[in-house]
Chain A
Amino acid sequence: MKADISVALVGNPNTGKSTLFNSLTGLNQKIGNFPGVTVDKKTGFCTLPDGRNAQIIDLPGTYSLYPKSQDESIVFSVLADKSNAHTPDLVVVILDATNLKRNLLLYSQVADLKIPVVIALNMMDLAKKSGIKIDVDLFAKKLGVPVVPISARKTEGIDKLKTAISFANKVALQEGSIDVETIAPELIGQISKEFKLDNPYYALQLAHQHENIKFISPAESERIEELEKEFSFHSQKAQATETIARYNFINDLLYDTVKVPETAQDETISNKIDKILTHKVFGFIIFFAVLLFMFQSIFSWSAYPMELIADFFVWAQSNLHQVLPAGPLTGLVVDGVLGGLSGVMVFIPQIAILFAFISILEDTGYMSRVTFMMDKLMRKVGLNGKSVVPLIGGFACAVPSIMSTRTIENWKDRMITIMVTPLVTCSARLPIYTLLIALVVPNRNVWWLFNLQGLALTGMYVFSLVSAIVCAFVFKLVLKGRERGYFIMELPVYRMPRWNNVAYSMYERAKAFVFQAGKVIIAISVILWVLASYGPGDRFKQIETKYQQAEYTQRLKPDEVTKAINSEKLENSYAGVLGHVIEPVIRPLGFDWKIGIALITSFAAREVFVGTMATIYSVEGSAEKMESVQQKMKTAKNPQTGQPRIFISSGLFAHDVLRLCHAMRQYRCCGLP
């Protein structure tokens, strides 16, 4: 779709920005990446009353144009980069009417960049309820911009906002807020002169942010640095001066236009809820109950749709094999591409459910209370209260969880969280655990009550958490922090979740997962398929001729011959050769080349491990026939030592090696670090 006008949505966190974005664009939106960074770029289209098409860009929520996190650093870049295709013609600043004072800081900064602005005054219904009286007309007149009162939750005022967008001026007409030039007169003057800028605030922002923005060249950045030294410019002092000046301006403005009663009503209700939810004892009990419910749901609710998806692909693959002529192209499409696709699609239910929960927990304001409660505990191991969310998500799937670490401001905390999240046992590892545990742990009860295999599975989960914590602690000592960590965070008022947003979040995340991580997983699947289906030289031909000899065809049934051929082909394929190559390395762990191949193929997806083992030990089917895989693996003796191939310790090691492989894979999937 072609856009006639480009509109950026800017505002504080928790102001209903994404709700507004959803009601403006509907399902007509997509999540991409801002170039060079792993920050979600949400864009969508909206038809204006005059028939024009507006492209809406949802920028990350921020309290000021001076970024504190990776997410926030995007905001200034998008607004200020004049060469960028996405440079907005108009900025819609969304303000929370119940907390205008803090919200207006960001507005006054954006307004001073002299981009045309429209204000969407959100949560007017809540403001009215708590007795806040806003003289909207006077407010608009004093600022010199159109102000549209809306209630994004109730979709009130959205049409008026669309009209305001369509009538917006091409040039910025808003009143200035503070006298920017007094902050650093010489420096602003010199930068404006050398870079031919007509906006003093833009020049000042360049002085503050030149190291982090990509649209100025290194030489230009260095020149600004020189000028800063020349005029002894101190970035933080200047920011402090600016913020104080802006709040003075805001206080004057609000004094004339807004009447706030002594205590807000909502606050007291929130306080009552907080007394229970962050209680010394109940707080933790409730938190663990919520977690338990979440995991139970992720596993049980997704079981049926996952089975359905898996069955569908099995059905499609077997049918396509019958319809299409046998050959390398069919093999590539059906086994390589479709196989990879099914490995991706099967996770959609879990990801959708996980994100539904996360979205509800965030929307209601409970997530920030969890961070508040857990911060001290997490800090002890080098993490941050905000690491709780990705770690919890890691139990379901590490890929989206790693994506959610972007809200952690501190680089070191974020890195450690990214490093340890894949160590937490995710749901896809369950089949592997089941296979390995059934293999090495006898199925009997101890102390009458506990099943030994069940205990082992619980042990694996505990072990995964412990290893994550230990690794976090090690990383804490090893990694050098470049910036200081802090935990200055808003605790938003409790609100009912917006089911619309929950649905959008499920849809968007599943879509983003399929298109972002899915690309990589399918590509690896195809490569692995090729590696496993072709061998060097004419080895494959030799195998086929070998089994055509009467000695085999008479002694074995036809399907047994096929199995034997497949198994021997795999051993002689490129993947098999690779397995043999890495065998010396993994032999001390008690593995042979067969497990080596499975390790390599499980780079694509952990579940592939079971499937590969099944193929290698030449058993039909995969997971269903686990019993027989187990039997074969058990009886396979190490030819040199005569010992069984698998030991308990090597089972554990296998899982750790797997884990490392997957950790690496996931970093790549997310484009991180």
Chain B
Amino acid sequence: MGQVFNIMTLSELVPGEIGIVKSFTDLEMSVKLMEMGCLPGEEVTVSRVAPLGDPIAINVSGYQLSLRKFEASTIILQ
């Protein structure tokens, strides 16, 4: 139960860190993300951050995906 207070989102990872998608906080965004292969149980790696600090690029299901920090913050990691 202690885990509840310890929610980690994708936007908190720094380049090189790996996480596993657990769930989403935004339904509309999750539909698009899942279509792009970013599903619960999938491993994601942050590969780089754009020069101005936003958006970020992640590796997921074998390809590179870019998304804004805000969008990454709707992805909860295990």
Question: Which B42-75 residues have a C-beta within 8 angstroms of A?
Answer: 47-48, 50-55, 57, 59, 61-68, 71
Beyond A105-B35, A237-B27, A375-B54, 10 additional contacts (C-beta under 8 Å) are A283-B51, A373-B51, A375-B55, A376-B52, A486-B71, A487-B67, A488-B29, A488-B33, A488-B66, A489-B67
Cα distance A488–B75 in the bound complex, in angstroms: 13
Residues of A within 8 A of B39 (CB): 243-244, 247
Contacting B at CB under 8 A, from A232-257, are: 236-237, 239-240, 243-244, 247
Query: B14 an interface residue at 8 Å Cβ cutoff?
Result: no
**Chain A 237-280 per-residue mask, 1 if CB under 8 angstroms from chain B, else 0:** 10110011001000000000000100010010011001100111
Considering the chains assembled together, what is the distance between the CA atoms of A236 and B34 in angstroms? 12
Contact A102 B37, CB 8 Å, known A284-B51, A487-B71, A491-B64: yes
Contact A487 B62 (CB under 8 A): no
Min CB–CB distance B71 → chain A (angstroms): 6
For residue A566, CB closer than 8 A to chain B, the reply is: no
Contacts of A488 in B (CB 8 A): 29, 32-33, 36, 65-67, 71
* Chain B residues near A492 (CB-CB < 8 A): 63-64
B36 touches A102 (CB 8 A): yes
Question: By the criterion CB–CB under 8 Å, are A487 and B68 in contact?
Answer: yes
Give the size of the chain B interface in residues (CB under 8 angstroms): 32
**Which single member of B30, B31, B59, B68 contacts A267 (CB below 8 Å)?**
B59
Q: What are the residues of chain A within 8 A of B64 when measuring CB–CB?
A: 267, 270, 490-493
Check A63 for interface membership: any CB of B closer than 8 A: yes
Is B62's CB under 8 angstroms from A101's CB? yes
Report how far A484 CA is from B26 CA in the complex, Å.
12
Question: Is there an interface contact between B71 and A376, defined as CB atoms closer than 8 Å?
Answer: no
List chain A residues, Cβ under 8 A from B66.
Answer: 368, 372, 487-491
A377 contacts the other chain (Cβ, under 8 Å)?
A: yes
Q: Does A99 contact B (CB under 8 A)?
A: yes
Residue A68 is within 8 A (CB to CB) of chain B in the complex: yes
Which one of A64, A98, A376 contacts B35 once the chains associate, using CB atoms below 8 Å?
A64
Cα separation A475 to B39 with both chains bound (whole Å): 36
Chain B proximity mask over A475-489: 1 for CB below 8 Å, otherwise 0: 000000000101111
**Which of A101, A240, A274, A284 is the one whose CB lies under 8 Å from B61?**
A101
Check: A547 CB closer than 8 A to any chain B CB: no
Please indicate the chain B residues that have their CB under 8 angstroms from the CB of A264 in the complex: 62
B4 to chain A, nearest CB (A): 23
A260-B61 Cα distance, complex, nearest whole Å: 11
Given that A99-B62, A240-B30, A244-B34 are contacting pairs, would A373 and B52 also be in contact in the complex, using a CB cutoff of 8 Å? Answer: yes
Is A102 a contact partner of B61 (Cβ separation < 8 A)?
yes
Chain B min CB distance to A6 (Å): 27
- A99 with B51, Cβ < 8 A, contacts A240-B30, A243-B34, A247-B39 known: no
In the complex the two chains form, is A484's CB within 8 Å of B28's CB? yes
Is A487 in contact with B32, judged by CB distance below 8 angstroms? no
**In the complex the two chains form, is B27's CB within 8 Å of A236's CB?**
yes
Known A488-B71, A489-B65, A491-B66; judge A274-B48 contact (CB<8 A).
yes
- Beyond A247-B39, A375-B50, A376-B53, whether A98 also contacts B31 by CB under 8 A is no
Q: Which chain A residues border B31 with CB–CB below 8 Å?
A: 66, 236, 239-240, 243
Determine if B50 and A278 form an interchain contact, defined as CB atoms under 8 angstroms apart: yes
10 nearest A-B pairs in the assembled complex, by CB-CB distance: A491-B64, A102-B37, A376-B52, A243-B34, A280-B51, A64-B35, A376-B54, A239-B31, A487-B68, A488-B67
Residue of B whose beta carbon sits closest to that of A385: B55
The residue on B at minimum CB distance from A486 is B71
Query: Please, which residues of chain A bring their CB within 8 A of the CB of B36?
Result: 63, 102, 488, 490
Distance to closest chain A CB from B59 (angstroms): 7
A-B contact pairs, 12 of them (CB 8 A): A66-B31, A105-B37, A260-B62, A271-B47, A278-B50, A280-B51, A375-B55, A376-B53, A487-B55, A488-B32, A488-B36, A490-B66
Residues from chain B with a CB closer than 8 A to the CB of A271 are 47
What is the CB-to-nearest-CB distance from A148 to chain B, in angstroms, rounded to a whole number?
22
Tell which of B40, B52, B57 touches A491, judged by Cβ atoms closer than 8 Å. B57
A599 to B30 Cα, complex, angstroms: 51
Chain A residues in 8 Å Cβ range of B48: 274-275, 278
In angstroms, Cα B39 to Cα A244, docked, is 7
A489 CB contacts on chain B under 8 angstroms: 65-67
